[in-house]
Every structure is written in C-alpha cells, then in structure tokens.
Chain A
Amino acid sequence: MRDVAIIGTGCTKFGELWDRSLRDIFVEAGVSAIVDAGIQGEEIDGLYMGNMSSGRFVEQEHVGSLIADYSGLASKLHVPATRVEAACASGGLALRQGILAVASGYADIIVAAGGEKMTDVDLDTATDALAAAADREWEGIMGATFPGLYAMIARLHMHKYGTTSEQMAAVSVKNHHNGTMNPIAQFRNEITLDTVLQSNMVADPLHMFDCSPISDGAAAVVLAPADVAKKYTDTPVYVKATTQASSPISLHDRADITTLDASMVAGQRAYKMAGLTPDDIDLVEVHDCFTIAEICAIEDLGFFKKGDGGRASEDGETAIDSSIPVNPSGGLKACGHPVGATGIKQAVVITEQLRGTAGKSQVDGAGIGMTHNVGGSGGTAVVHIFSRDR
C-alpha cells in the first residue's frame, strides 16, 4: 500500500443556496480543488462523490455521471465517477474510497467530493428523507425522527452521567462562536446559553439550537500518492489513517445507547493504524449533528472519559485555545450540515489547519488533525487522521 496525501481543497459556502443547483455546487467545489492542486483534467483518474439522498432532495439519481459530465470530465476523458452513500457519513466514506484507490496503486490522482442540496424541498420532505437514515420499518414507523433518536441518547446520558441541558447548550454556543470566524459557515452569529435553552423544544430534551440545520453545500479534495505530492504543492497533508466501522442501524439494538460504538471502534482502529493516541491529536472535527452527538464523540474518540464530555464542554476544554480544539470550523451546528458534503468539508478544514491557512480559527502549531463522520444514529462511522509531516 502507498501513502496518500491531500494536495488541494475546495469548498462552497454552506447555507440556503436557493439560486444554486446540486450540479452547480459540486462543480464549484471540484473546480476550486483542482485549481488549488494545480492539476489538469487529463490527470484525474477518478471521482468519488458522497451524496446521501439526491433522489429525495432534488429528484436526481446517477449523480456520479452527472457531475463528471458537468465538470467536463465525461465526454472526452470518460473519467470514472462513483457515488458513495452512507447517510450523513457519505462524504467521509467517499474520501475513504478515494484514499483506498490511490493507496492500492490502482489510481494516482483522485478527486473526492461530497455535496447535498437540501433546501429545494419543504421541511417535511427533508425531515422524512433524513429519517430514512434510521430503520424505517422499526423506528420510523413508530414516529421516530432523527432529533428524537438523539434525544433518547441525550436523556440516557443525562440519567447515567448527570449531563445537563446547559452542558449540551455550551456545545452549541462554542460552535456558533467558532462559526463567526469561518467565512463559509451558514451561521456566523454568537449565541448565548439562553438562546439555546429558550428555543423551541424539538424532541425533549433537545431544543432547536441543539440541532444542526438543513443546508446546501459541497466540498472536494484532490488526492495523490505521497511520493509525488510535493510536485504539486509545498504543503501536502498526509493521510495517517482511514477507518470505518458499522453498528446496528437501530438505536434500540445497541448494547449501550450512550456510546456510538462504531465511533469508538473506528477511532481505536485509526489510532492503531497511525501509531498515535488521543493525546497526539492537535484538533478534531467531530460529527455534531446534535449537541449530544459532540459530547458522545469526544468521549467515544478517547479525548474525555465516558460521561465527562458534558462537563468538559461546559468548562471550555474543547475551545480553540484548549488542549483539544473540537470543531474549530463551527461544526455541523454553525457551519451547516449538507449531509453528503460534511465528511469532505471536515477534511478540508483539517487540511487548512495543518497548512496554517485557517485564518482566525487557526489552532497554534496544528500538526495532527482528526475527522469523525457518522451516518444515521451511529450505524456507520468513518474516522481519518491527517498529518502535516509525512
């Protein structure tokens, strides 16, 4: 197997992009990444595209071919394009497929992208499309919603560990604060604990401001063999680990509802693959689709003891200037969560941080970064570790 590096990144603005289509945003992100890497279309050996539900959101399937076509890569070059789906982990998994293709030696230059256009449909339809990431026949039919499933995780976390609504709200306040420094973020405003606690109850104990928004957006990275990465860029970012784990799709089938064991296992596999421990990670982008999800993630990935994630969040131990900055981009909560794009956007953020080009949210001396992308309520987890040094 060969070492792999990221040599270019691209990202659209995240938010309600009513004047843009799915193909527009995919192409914009892809072209920016290609320009950033300084490569030509002829050099591209393949595309991997994370997308959860274009059939539901824009009534378009077969987006691999569609995007290859509108990127100008289909008609003469016939570049292979593959869509990858794992609910909200689709982007992370597309990245992983791209890395595996380069690592295996089967391909040299790969563009891994992710995108979702969620605001073309009404809220009811969007909510229903997202509910398809849970078990429709045994969770959805009972009236379960996505916030509802995470609310049940939150309720048990509160019961077992004394986690409070204020501690969960602190996650949202921190991520909104980080979002103010991120030019592509959907929300760039500060909020207070009261903003969260006084917002509408969606599924008790989760308020509206405990939930990530419905968003449009796309992101892309260009991958190359590490041996030739310096030919393209002075600041390649090296892939130290790519891992994935599955868990029962239904929340009720998990041994411990407060632990996303797919995250835990994907994390452990990643530390082993990279030969690192949680102490070596300088910053992490985790899957905070709900505030409780960030609390579970920082526990499941080994940054805090199980049950301690709420207290740590409240005490500022995950802020940008702490020992483990969590979601410096604003996370899914403030940056936005176009489901298929999220896993790639996380890699773009970490790449910028390791290159030292993250602007106001730059983490001092960032050398090793991690991404954590979850599908559904934890049926899939994808973890990557990246390093500035090879």
Chain B
Amino acid sequence: MTVSRFWRKIPHRYNLIGTHCTNCGEYYFPPRQMCPTCRRDGKIESYQFEGKGEVITYTVIHTAAKGYANQVPYNLAIIKLNEGPSLTGQVICEPGELEIGTRVRSVFRKLGEESEKGMIYYGTKFVVE
C-alpha cells in the first residue's frame, strides 16, 4: 500500500475512529461519509470506538499475505464491536485460545511492513480480554 493511502487513514487506524449517524443511530467502522442506512438523509459525525467486542469468526493464516510472511502463522478474525459494526483484524493469542464468541479488546501494534527498507504499518490488533 502506498504511503499516502495509509497516511490519510491513520487517525482511524490508530484510534479506531469511525462514524455515527445521529439520524438513525447506527455506528460505522471504517468511517462512512454517507450513512448506508439512511443514505442521503443521514447526519454523520466522528466517533471513537471503545475497542471491545466479540469474535464472530476466525482463521489461522499459514500462507501469508505479502509483507506478513514473518508473522506466520497468525490469527485473523472478524470482530463485532460492542457498538455494532464489525471489522477484520488480527488477534494476538496462542493457537487454540481463539474461539467463536471469544471476547477481545483492541491494542496498538505493528501490523506489517513493506520490505526491510519500506514502510512499517501500525494500527489496531486485538488481544483476548
């Protein structure tokens, strides 16, 4: 991913900042400029998520994505945040500790890196609560 594409989402990635529609009450992460529920009528404002949620489903990745080879095997999960929206993220824990329904909380961690001299990505991962 290019530097600018990563850079402009840093507040959202580092602090789990999404959006909240004050019209229908729904929360969104990643942030939306338009409310997918009310569409044109939505009134969107910034919202910082608490970062706590539950594992909906997960996998253990053995064949890594580009730039993630040194983390193999790693846990990847879909996490439903307490406020409602779901997101994809890594969960740091021992194999076997992760199950559907496991409660997790967000932590700030290194996500990956482009190459030895390339950009290092930071952002949100999760640990078992």
Contact = CB atoms under 8 A, between A and B. Distances in A.
Nearest to A208: B63
Interface string A143-167: 1110110011101100100000000
B76 A143 contact: yes
B68 to A, nearest CB: 5
Residues of A contacting B: mostly = helix
A356 interface: no
A194 interface: no
Contact of B100 (A147, A155, A201, A206): A155
Interface in A108-158: 124-125, 127-128, 131, 136-145, 147-148, 151-153, 155-156
B89 A142 contact: yes
A18 B123 CA distance: 40
A233 interface: no
B30 A137 contact: yes
A200 interface: yes
B106 interface: no
Contacts of B65: 127-128, 131, 140, 143-145, 148
A390 to B, nearest CB: 41
B61 A143 contact: yes
A141 B5 CA distance: 11
Contacts of B66: 124-125, 127-128, 131
Contacts of A202: 62-63
Contact of B76 (A125, A128, A148, A159): A148
B126 to A, nearest CB: 10
Interface string B27-60: 0001000000000000000000000000011111
Given A128-B66, A147-B63, A152-B76, A138 B88 contact: yes
A251 interface: yes
A153 B76 CA distance: 12
Interface residues of B, number: 35
Interface residues of A, number: 35
Contacts of A145: 61, 63-65
Given A131-B65, A145-B65, A137 B9 contact: yes
B78 A151 contact: no
B63 to A, nearest CB: 5
B60 A142 contact: no
A250 B111 CA distance: 19
A93 B88 CA distance: 28
Contacts of A201: 60, 62
Please indicate which of the listed interface residues A136, A140, A142 has the most CB atoms of chain B within 10 Å of its own CB. Answer: A142
A252 interface: yes
Contacts of B59: 148, 151-152, 155, 203-206
Contacts of B123: 141-142
Contacts of A204: 59-60, 62
A144 to B, nearest CB: 6
Nearest to A145: B65
A14 to B, nearest CB: 22
A202 B73 CA distance: 10
A205 to B, nearest CB: 8
Given A142-B76, A143-B74, A143-B112, A156 B56 contact: yes
The 7 closest A-B pairs by CB, nearest first: A151-B59, A156-B57, A204-B60, A252-B86, A128-B66, A152-B57, A143-B68
Given A141-B123, A155-B57, A201-B60, 13 more contacts: A131-B65, A137-B30, A138-B87, A139-B88, A141-B1, A143-B61, A143-B68, A144-B76, A147-B63, A148-B65, A201-B62, A252-B86, A257-B57
12 contacts: A127-B63, A127-B65, A138-B87, A141-B1, A142-B88, A143-B65, A148-B59, A148-B61, A148-B65, A151-B59, A152-B58, A253-B85
